[in-house]
Amino acid sequence: MIETISKSSFYTRMKQNKAKKLSSNGKYEEAAKELEKIPNKDPDDLNGLGGLYFQIKEYETALVYFKKYLETGIDVENAYVNLGCAYGCLDEKE
């Protein structure tokens, strides 16, 4: 049986796959732009965006996404670790 997916799900998967490929090639800013285009981001997208912004040293933006990820209640321990790293780097930057 063939799985049918909605246009929005297909669009989301396409953007997630493109972002993953860009990220694996070290193109973090471009990967973040792809994930930003997804209208209804799932928790993995939120955490991923936080990680991408962290990689390009945009710590305040990373914090926004890590906090949104924390609000989902998924993998809370990982969310706090990510928040701590971003806050630590933000302190060093100032």
pLDDT at 92 exceeding the cut of 80: no
CATH number of 7-93: 1.25.40.10
CA distance 74 to 71: 8
Q: Provide the token pair at 91.
A: 């302190």
DSSP 40: S
Over residues 16-20, mean pLDDT: 96
pLDDT at 29 exceeding the cut of 90: yes
Query: Which pLDDT score is estimated for 2?
Result: 57
Question: 20: pLDDT confidence band, cut at 50, 70 and 90?
Answer: very high
pLDDT at 6 exceeding the cut of 90: no
pTM, to two decimals:
0.87
Cα pseudo-dihedral 73, 64, 36, 40, rounded to 10: 30
Domain ranges of the chain: 7-93
